[in-house]
Structures are given as structure tokens and as C-alpha cells.
Amino acid sequence: MASSTFIVQNRSFTYIIFKNNNEFLKVNGIRLFQFHIEKCKEPFVNIPEETIREALNVVLDVNNHPLLIHCRRGKHRTGCLVGCLRKMQRWYLSSIFDEYQRFAGAKARVSDQRFIERFDVSSSKR
């Protein structure tokens, strides 16, 4: 399996595949955080809340900025993480779901939105 690498250019990111990216990351001072979340297809959905919380801790740490968040397609797993972030930022659920649906398009999942709606921000670090 190939691993992912990010090329920083004018504070923007380009996604490229390399067989071994550890040296590239080290040379360019890039920290890579990976959180494994299995593909979740309805009706058998298992979005690991603890993994989302761990990822949110990385996202909320300004020492990790600028930051690129992505998954294979940038819809469901990324959408759940960003949706939970928006909830922590006190966005209205309707606005969170609008943003999620804009990026997920026809592939939007009710289960993802349900996960975001039920996500308890009171126990998350701020």
C-alpha cells in the first residue's frame, strides 16, 4: 500500500503518492497524523467516536496549523470530523449539515449526519 505525502507550496497542499514518504516529511518539517477509520457503509455503520475525539485534539492544537484534513474521497470520514469540529465551534446543525451535504453531494449519508448530531461536545477538549 502506498502512503500519502503532502507537498507544501505557498501554504497550499498537493496530494501525491509515494512508496516511502518518511524522509520527505522529515526534510520538509511536516508532521503526519493518521487516524484509522474503516469505511462506513449504511446500514452497518461504526464511526469510532474516540478516534474522532483524538483527531479533533490534533485539529484544535494550533501548533499543528496549517492543517490539511482528508480521507480517501474527502466526504464521509472527513465530513464527520469537520462536522464535529463545527459543532464544537457552536455552528447551528442546519449549517453543519448544509456544509456536509455540499461536499458529500449525492453521496451524503443520513448516518453521518446522525453521528454529528449525537456527538457530545461537552466532553471534548477546547
Catalytically active residues, by annotation: 71
CA–CA separation, 89 and 71 (whole Å): 22
Chain centroid, CA 14 distance in Å: 16
Any idea what DSSP says for residue 96? H
**Which residues contact residue 123 at a Cβ distance below 8 angstroms, ignoring those fewer than 6 apart?**
none
Evaluated on CA atoms 71, 80, 108, 94, the torsion sign reads: negative
Sole residue written with cell 462506513: 40
* 51 and 68 Cβ atoms separated by less than 8 Å: no
